[in-house]
Structures are given as C-alpha cells and as structure tokens.
A and B are shown apart, each in its own frame.
Chain A
Amino acid sequence: MTQDNRLYGPLDDVAGDAGHVGHPPRMGFFTDTSVCIGCKACEVACKEWNLLPDDGFELLGMSLDNTGSLGASSWRHVAFIEQERPIAGQDPGVIGTPTGPSGTGATATSVAEALHGTPGRGSELGTEPVDLPMPSFELPGEGTGAEGRTDFRWLMASDVCKHCTHAGCLDVCPTGALFRTEFGTVVVQQDICNGCGYCVPACPYGVIDRREDDGRAWKCTLCYDRLKGGLEPACAKACPTDSIQFGPLDQLRERAARRVDQLHEVGVPEARLYGEDPHDGVGGTGAMFLLLDEPEVYGLPPDPVVPTRDLPRMWRFAGAAAGALVVAAIGAFAGRRP
C-alpha cells in the first residue's frame, strides 16, 4: 500500500495502490490511428453496449466528424483531420499517374455559373437541365499535369478516456463515486455520483462531463461490465482494422513501441506515441495512442499534467494565506479598547 509517487510520477501497481489485492493486470487500450479508417464502429458499439443516449444530431462542418468531442454520452469520438500534406509511407496507388482536381477549369466554371443562376444555388441540383460542355475523356488531372497534384491526407483517430495512472477526476471526486477498479481503470458509480461537477474541470483531457438532464457525471468505463465477464470492450471488439487494441497495458506498450519503430522504418517519421510514458504528467495513461501529427491537431493536450501534482504546494499557499488572515484578525483587535 505504501508506495511513493501516490500523487504524481510512475506507479507500477495502480490497482494495488488503490487497495486491490490479488488483482488482474492493468488493462488498457492502444489506439493505432495509422490504421483507423474512420468508420465510427467504435462510437456506435459504445453507444449500443452502454445504452448511451444521443447527444444531438448536429452537422458540425468538421469534415466527417459530427460527434464533435468526447462527452457525457459520447465515450468514443472519431476525429477527422484533413491536411494538405502527403500521405507519408503509403502508396495510394496513383504514383506516376496524373491525379488532381477531378474536373477541368472549363467544367468547373460552367457548373459554378449554372449553380449560381438557379434559385436554390444548387440545392435542387439535378432537377434542372444544366448546360455542360462536351465531357472530356482525359484522365482526371491530366490537363494540369503532375505539378497540379494536391497533397492530401486524412487523419482519423478514435479518442477515448485515458484511464490515467494519476487521474484528476478520481483525485477530486468528493463522494468516492469515481473509483479505481481492479483492472486499473477509472469508473464512475452512477448510484453514488451526486453531480458536484468537480471532475469535469479536473480532467486535463476534457473527457468526463455531466449530463444536463441527468445531473450526473459520465465517462468511458472501459466496459467494466464486459471486463468482469472476460470480454473485451465493445469498441475494440467492433473495430474492423484493429486500430483499437485492448489488452494488458504492459503488452500494449511493447506492441506500441514495435509499431512506431515499424512505421519509422517504412518512412513515416511523424509517427509518435502519446500517453505511453510513465514519466509524463499523468504517470502514463491506460489508453495510449499512435499519432501522425502533434497531439493538439487531434484535440489532445500536448503536455497534460494531473492537477494533483501541485496539491501540496497549493495547500502551502492556502496555509500561508489562512495564517495571514488569523494574524490580521488578531491585529485588528489588539491594542484597541472599545
């Protein structure tokens, strides 16, 4: 029970630190975004298994992402990032063939003018005859040549609760509703949570949130119920490309290190791991990621720190302020006679 680094730093046995005896190994996720195809099966499987309510049917105008972010009712979130840069290390099968805009300038201008002239600016497309010039039979982009090719890559990444070694939400929960399971994951007990909301700003990743209609805080449980029954979490089960891998964290860390080496060898130098380092600001996460760009591009904080790291220092300053208040109060009465 008595380990160092109980507030910050690497912690070998998180479940043991929480008081579990004879517990299973720490389980987690490794999300390899380099093979994510953005199918959102993880989001759907999570919603289905955990009976999560919808959180709005909005069109957000953010590529194919209409979920927006993790939240009280979205425990997996697939991010879509469109970038004008090459797909490193991948052969899209078009090298050597002319690629580029799928139409010529003439057709584009013609279509644009026709659309502009219609009452609905194209919303009724296909209902009116549109005068197009003769179709061209050249390959797409041949007119502009190889120079006109556009570099383009589409990053997709399925985000999830990180199940931190030092979890800000867990540290601040005043009711004990949040607890550390025997698998080393962090789960909210919904029959205890009184909706104080402290966990929400305490999470350095912005994962946990309170449901407005329900008043309680919700987040990924790493399918605690399925784990109890020896099953893998619903999202990992549903992932068709094994972008989401589930297993004992030690094995996942090795696998992640191998995968990032492999990608570096084949020419993807931007591949990097996120959350795998037990020496980082949250003591390493239970859900780590292989990313192809900086974390903030995916909406992840680049250098997250558990707020509890500074807790002793905060109390020292509070103690100083409280002491000064006592001295001031005594001073206010001392030396005065009514």
Chain B
Amino acid sequence: MTDRPTEPRSDTGARDRDALLWQGLGQSGDRPAGRRRKKGADDGSRETPMVPRATFQSYYGRPVLKAPVWKDDIAYYFFLGGLSAGSSLLGAGADLTSRPGLRRGTRVAALASLGVGAFYLVKDLGRPERFLNMLRVVKPTSPMSVGTWVLTAYGPAVGLAAASELLPQQLRRSVLGRLIDSLARPAGLSAAALAPAVASYTAVLLSQTAVPAWHDSHEELPFIFTGSAAASAGGLGMIIAPAAEAGPARALALYGAAVELAASRRLEHRLGVESEHFHTGRAGRELRLAATLTAVGAAGTLVLGRRGRVAGCVAGAALVAGGFFERLGLLHAGAASAVDPRATVQPQRARIEAGRPARS
C-alpha cells in the first residue's frame, strides 16, 4: 500500500465537531479468508479483525438523539414548583403549630410561585392555547400526565389556603369569607399532602427520557429535586417569616441542602462519559454555582440563622438562588448530553462489548 488518494474525502472540512473522526480510522476490512477472488494482490489489510474496534464511531459526529426542545422556562417551573411544594409543607406545619407569621408568608408564597411556575409551563408549550389538552387523558406511563393531574388537585388547595390569608378584612365576615376561612386548614393540609409529589414528579419526568444524563441519574434526581425544594422553600421561609417563627424553615432548609449536596455529589462523581456533562460547559458552571450557593446558605443558616432577620435573609437568599441554578444546570446538562453522540453510543457499545445488551 503506497499511495493513498490525493483527492480529499468529501467530509473534509465539514463543520461538525467530530466530522473528521472517520479520517485515519484505519479500519481493516471484514472480508473472510475464503472469499472468491479471481486474482490481484491482497495486502493483508483484509483479514477479519480479531479485536473489536475500540474507536468511538458516529455518523459524521452528529447527535443520535434530538436535543430537548424545552427552554429555560421549564427550569424556572421546576424551581418554582419545588418552591411552592416546600412552602406548602411549611405552611401546613406553621398552621398546625400556631406560627401565624410563617403560615401567612408560606401560604402566599406557595400560591405565587405555583402561579408563576404554571405560567412558564404553559408558555413553553409549542401551542400554549392547547394546554387544556393535557386533561384529555390520564396516562400513568407519562410523568407529565401524572404531574398534570397532581397539579390539578394541588393548585386549588394551594389557592384556597392562600385566599384565606389574602382575604380583605371586610369580606371575612361574609358567608364566602367564613367558608374560605373554615376550608383553609383542610386545603392547606391537602396541599401539603400533595406537595411531595409536586416536588418529586419532575425528577421522574426528566429521567423518563433517552437523554443519558437524565436517564442514568434517575436514582439521584428525585433526591436533588426534593432536597432543593426543601432548601429553597426553607430559605424563602427564613426571609418572609419573623426570626422567632423561622425555626422549622431553618431546619427544613438544612435538611434540603444536605440532601441536595449529597445527591449531587453522588451524581457528579460517577465515572466516564455519563457524568461528564455535569462538569463541563454552561451546565457545569451553573451546577458549581448552585452547590456553592447552597453550601454557603446552609452554613449561614447553621451559624447565623438564629442571630436575626438580616442574617437569615442573606442565608435564605443564597439557598433560594442555589435551588434556581441547580435546576437550570440540570436542564442544560441534559441538553448537552443529548447532542453528544459519545454519551449515547459509548455506554451502549460498552454494554454490547461486555455481553450485556438490553434483553428481555
């Protein structure tokens, strides 16, 4: 084998990142020894390869999967939905343990964050005017359908609990006002009962995709989501409630921050291409920022939390911001891994090479 063709390959200069993977791959042919040949030299490169090709192969480096079409709106919803769920839990607890300041703030915050979150949820649809089509079916295999129905039950409960806090004084003595007041506690407790589902279903929603970073992290994501919901709602509770009543908010925030940090750490310290997109690029920066903010917020809560409202506000704000960047980072990590053909192909190829392909 002397001269290689001087004519460039047609994929030379292609814009795709890994387009040149093909060049110089040096694949040897798969032609068997006993094949019919009339004459002509055989340069030895046609022997059946004895070892499987170790090189990662792809079609011009193009993604195998489609990038998720969800914009940052969805991360906002994940964050706000978690904030609402954690606030509902705090509101119900404050109601039962007679902490009116914490109760009032968290009930209103639960409704406000759910409202804004639902706005972003609908806004991200390709056809927002058709959002009610979500209520056509009940579909247990679709976490989005399950979540829709959970939210359908959760929303009115949150709304009723918040309405009793927002009711103008002159309406309180009316029939409607008394009805709302009497329903506030059952509604708040119903909202709290549904809140853990609101905080965790979104993790299943992300995991039930073919996106490697999301699917492979289905053990950790629910703990990150519920932990982050607890941390950010606790942080918000520290901001909006008087320091004397904010003890449970601080405790919930510390629990949430610990779970979120531990689960994230487990996620990011896996080996190989599966965890790569949690470290690199925009997602990596956002997740590092989220971890830093959450850790700072938790430390501040622990050390300064009882010292007064201002210290509590600073620590609480750090926790809220940490929860926000966590969701943003997770969304972007998934998007990056979806369009990386290595993340799709390499683990699957490794399964096949190890003799463990998916079988039923």
Contact = CB atoms under 8 A, between A and B. Distances in A.
Interface of A: 5, 7-10, 60-65, 68-69, 71, 79, 81-86, 88-89, 95-96, 100-101, 108, 144, 146-148, 150-151, 168, 171-177, 192-198, 200-211, 214-217, 267, 269-270, 279-281, 283, 294, 296-305, 307-311, 313-315, 317-326, 328-333, 336-338
Contacts of B207: 307, 310, 314
B37 interface: yes
Interface string B38-61: 111101011010000000111110
B307 interface: no
Contact of A195 (B14, B38, B126): B126
A173 B28 CA distance: 44
Interface stretch (B66-74, B111-119, B298-306): B66-74
B126 A7 contact: no
A297 B59 contact: yes
B6 A303 contact: no
B99 interface: yes
Contacts of B222: 314, 317-318, 320-322
Given A203-B65, A210-B69, 18 more contacts: A5-B360, A61-B14, A62-B14, A84-B27, A171-B208, A175-B130, A176-B139, A194-B130, A198-B142, A202-B209, A205-B65, A208-B66, A303-B358, A305-B210, A313-B218, A320-B223, A321-B200, A325-B230
B357 interface: yes
A205 B198 CA distance: 30
A311 B208 contact: yes
Interface in B117-174: 124-128, 130-131, 133-134, 136-137, 139, 141-145, 148
A336 to B, nearest CB: 5
B5 A101 contact: yes
Contacts of A204: 65, 210
Contacts of B97: 333, 336-338
B288 interface: no
A299 B2 CA distance: 32
B133 A194 contact: yes
Please list the 4 inter-chain residue pairs (A to B) with the smallest Cβ-Cβ separation, ordered nearest first: A195-B126, A215-B126, A299-B59, A281-B358
B348 A303 contact: yes
A64 B10 CA distance: 8
B66 A325 contact: no
A150 B4 contact: yes
B14 A147 contact: no
B202 to A, nearest CB: 9
A291 B275 CA distance: 31
Interface in B248-274: 248-249, 251-252, 255-256, 259
A164 B234 CA distance: 44
B294 interface: no
B38 A300 contact: no
B41 to A, nearest CB: 5
Interface stretch (B88-96, B175-183, B319-327): B88-96
Contacts of A329: 89-90, 93, 192, 230, 252
B204 A336 contact: no
B303 to A, nearest CB: 18
B41 A147 contact: yes
A215 B125 contact: yes
A192 to B, nearest CB: 6
A151 B360 CA distance: 40
Contacts of B16: 62
A194 B43 contact: no
B359 interface: yes
Q: Which of A270, A305, A338 has the most CB of B within 10 A?
A: A338
Nearest to B247: A336
B11 A85 contact: no
Contacts of A81: 59
Nearest to A333: B93
Contacts of B3: 100-101, 144, 148
Contacts of B27: 83-85
25 contacts: A61-B15, A62-B16, A62-B62, A88-B35, A95-B40, A100-B3, A171-B141, A172-B208, A175-B136, A193-B130, A194-B131, A200-B67, A200-B68, A201-B65, A205-B65, A208-B66, A209-B66, A210-B69, A296-B56, A298-B59, A302-B349, A313-B218, A314-B208, A314-B222, A325-B196
